[in-house]
Amino acid sequence: MTFLQPALLVALPLAALPVVIHLIHLYRRRQVKWAAMMFLLAAQRMNKGLSRLRQVLILALRVLAVAAILFVITRPLAGGWLGLTGGVPDTVMVLLDRSVSMEQQNMATGVSKRAAGLRNLSKAINDAVGTRSRLVLIDSAVGKPQSVEKADALSDLPQTEPTETAADIPALLQAGLDYISTNKTGRTDVWLLSDLQQSDWDASSGRWETLRAAFRTMQGVRFHLLCYPQTAQDDLAVSVERVARRETSDKAELLLDLRISRHVDHPQPMEVPVRFVVNGTATTAKLALKENQLGLQGYSIPIDKALKRGWGRVELPADVCAGNNIFHFVFDEPPPMRSVIVSDDETESGPLSAALSASADSSRKYVATVLGSKHAAEIPWEETALLVWQAPIPKPDDVLARQLRNLAGAGRTILFLPPESPDDSEIFGLRWESWEGGAEKPQTVEWWRNDADLLANTRDGTALPLGSLEVSRRCRIAGEGVPFARMAGQGALLMRSVQGGSVYFLGTLPGTSSLARDGVVMFALLHRGLNEGARTLGKARQRITAAAALGKDPSRWRPADAQAGSVISENLPLRAGVLMAGDEITALNRPAGEDQPETLTTPALNELFAGLDFRVLTDNLEDGRSLTNEIWRTFLLAMAAALLGEALLCMPGRPERKITKNVASGFSEPASKAA
């Protein structure tokens, strides 16, 4: 509980005024002794305990009445979620989820989850602490702490505007932890605003245990989670997985691999009007959506034969989630799908090279090159989409280490495979430990992530056959990463680095597993990594919205569509669209995980914050109530009840009726009747 007029609490000692008056009254009474007093004193001693209790209750109710009226004029606030009964904190930190899913709207009001949460947070912070606490904002898109003067300004900051990015909640909490540790913020209330989307929270990551352990050592840090887990009903999402230009003797066309999805329990057939825009020219087609997904491969859009490169987008009708209704694409003469394998073991590099040389797209040229570890300097860095590194990890200050970091920073994919003799070298926050297995029965994969990334289900929803994969030897992976596959009771088999980019560690080889023999898993894994890295090849590139998506100088980019709204250069990498810089053209789109509506369950959320001081408030867009409410009426009622109780205790007792006995009849009757 807190107060809008806390200065008036200095008058709270006035609640003792009835006691003071009572004591003064006792002091001023004069005692006069007279003969019959001895009988009255004797009778009073018989009722002394009950009389004193009555006097104490009367005084207590009078004190309560005065205290209640004092609380009324201080205008108290209450909100169980605020948890401010311990006083005003030194620092208030707001961690804001700015992912695409936070833009789900209430169609009646047009208010999104992000806007509603910021509105409630601003009012709650302003009512609870005003400007008495230092206010710090950290958003998921940029991740940099920003001091805020007033809570009312939260909704107007550029750092709280909508984006088409994903949120990394563990990284957001890590940024908050670093700020608290560096700045010695004292008692800190951390308020986290999120919609609990599973892909953003990454509950299976090993980072959560590290975060919990670090926060447990900090005194005075409390977490308040304002959650909007409400999922959208009848929401449609569109994505384009591949764009290719095809030309024949009489026509030219664009071929799109298109996917439209929804998430309903009992899908009904519906007709979806889809709008295609290519270089500003729009056409509309109606597509039949019978189940929860519609996948079209090679959907044809006729174009002019003179149009060799350009941009476009696919649009769905507006619904509660505007961020997933549009997908942008670019096209150009496709560069070769080039991959490089660095390995000194021909038995391992052979199956890898064969898989990467196989064509998965007849319109593209596939080139796979094998280099020994001593010839790693010959890697064509600018042309390589996928680098498979089966060699010792270079030292941090080595030139090769810097080149690997630059390759990942450029959006290419790097897949590290374990060398025969691992050392303690680390890169991208991960390293190899020792080999395990060999003499025992081959191990199987217990769990893998099938909703996104390298091991996702196929286009028709079929899972990759990882359950039948046999691993005879496995090299342990250590460090900070996101697991994508785990062995039965042994640890991660495939892990992605959390330090940015598409960097993976796979803990086995074709020769130490059934990867080469079965083929399907290895082919899918390698070609998905190749396709991801190829997005940034050539002059026309597909990229995922992120703070570093446009490099170090976003100001050199401008929207390709003249009708696109103006966006400040700092926010260009965070918004979906098509951008141009010289002869380069880039399409930015939301991450695929933002189309998955699954949210964390309450037990899973409690497990993530186990051992920490945290509170959860679940809100929804239809609930317009404030997080804090004035409760002076409660104290007013308490005052009235106290005065009423005091009046009842002060009432004189009922006079006793004298009873006489009728001797003749043997019955008792009131004296008046007997007379």
DSSP state letters, 61-104: HHHHHHHHHHHHHT-EEE-TTT--TT---SEEEEEE--BGGGG-
CA distance 409 to 204: 25
Tokens of 194: 């999120």
Tokens of 472: 């005879």
Q: Which amino acid is at 633?
A: R
Beta strands in 348-412 (DSSP E): 366-371, 386-390
Question: For the chain, which ranges sit under pLDDT 70?
Answer: 1-12, 14-15, 19, 22-50, 71-72, 74-87, 439, 563-565, 621-633, 635, 652-675
Q: With contact defined as beta carbons under 8 Å apart, do 54 and 649 qualify?
A: yes
The DSSP H or E segment spanning 136 is strand 134-139
Tokens of 663: 């001797």
Is 237-332+539-595 the same fold as 91-231+598-627?
no
Question: Which letter does DSSP use for residue 401 in this model?
Answer: H
Q: What is the pLDDT of residue 205?
A: 81
What is 323-363 written as a DSSP string? GGSEEEEEE-SPPPEEEEEEES-HHHHHHHHHHHHS-S-TT
Could you report the per-residue pLDDT of 231-281, keeping only the tens digit for each? 887 899 999 988 988 888 888 999 999 999 998 888 899 999 999 999 989
CA distances from 573 to 191, 555, 653 (A): 26, 10, 82
The CATH homologous superfamily of the domain defined by 237-332+539-595 = Immunoglobulins (2.60.40.10)
Q: What is the pLDDT of residue 82?
A: 40
Alpha-carbon dihedral 284, 289, 293, 298, rounded to 10 degrees: -50
Show the CA angle centred on residue 111, arms to residues 108 and 115, nearest 5°. 170
Strand partners, 504: 415, 496
Contact residues for 2 (Cβ-Cβ < 8 A; gap 6+): 76, 77, 82, 84, 88, 127, 128, 129, 628
Task: Specify the fold of 91-231+598-627.
Answer: Rossmann fold (3.40.50)
Q: What is the pLDDT of residue 657?
A: 58
Q: What is the pLDDT of residue 147?
A: 94
Q: Looking at the chain, how many residues does it have? A: 675
Tokens of 17: 């005024």
Q: What is the pLDDT of residue 672?
A: 45
Q: What is the pLDDT of residue 625?
A: 59
| Closest to 91 (Cα-Cα) out of 1, 173, 184 | 184
Q: Reading across the β-sheet that carries 134-139, which strands appear in turn?
A: 146-148, 134-139, 91-96, 188-194, 221-227, 614-618
CA distance 536 to 502: 12
Q: Which amino acid is at 126?
A: N
Q: With contact defined as beta carbons under 8 Å apart, do 524 and 462 qualify?
A: no
Q: What is the pLDDT of residue 288?
A: 94
Q: What is the pLDDT of residue 55?
A: 75
Which CATH architecture best describes the domain 337-534? Answer: 3-Layer(aba) Sandwich (3.40)
Could you report the per-residue pLDDT of 445-498, keeping only the tens digit for each? 989 988 878 998 887 778 899 888 999 999 999 998 889 999 877 789 999 998
Q: Which residue is associated with the tokens 């003799």?
A: 421
Tokens of 189: 């209330």
Show the CA angle centred on residue 642, arms to residues 641 and 646, nearest 5°. 115
Phi, psi of 106 (to 5 degrees): -85, 115
CA distance 527 to 385: 10
Q: What is the pLDDT of residue 567?
A: 74
Show the CA angle centred on residue 495, arms to residues 163 and 448, nearest 5°. 90
Q: What is the pLDDT of residue 83?
A: 40
User: What average pLDDT is seen over the chain?
Assistant: 85
Q: What is the pLDDT of residue 231?
A: 86
| Closest to 197 (Cα-Cα) out of 606, 482, 596 | 596
Phi, psi of 419 (to 5 degrees): -75, 170
Q: Where are the domains of the chain?
A: 2-30+37-78+632-661, 91-231+598-627, 237-332+539-595, 337-534
Contact residues for 603 (Cβ-Cβ < 8 A; gap 6+): none
Tokens of 167: 């949120």
| Closest to 369 (Cα-Cα) out of 382, 388, 348 | 388
CA distance 674 to 658: 11
Q: What is the pLDDT of residue 80?
A: 41
Q: Which amino acid is at 228?
A: Y
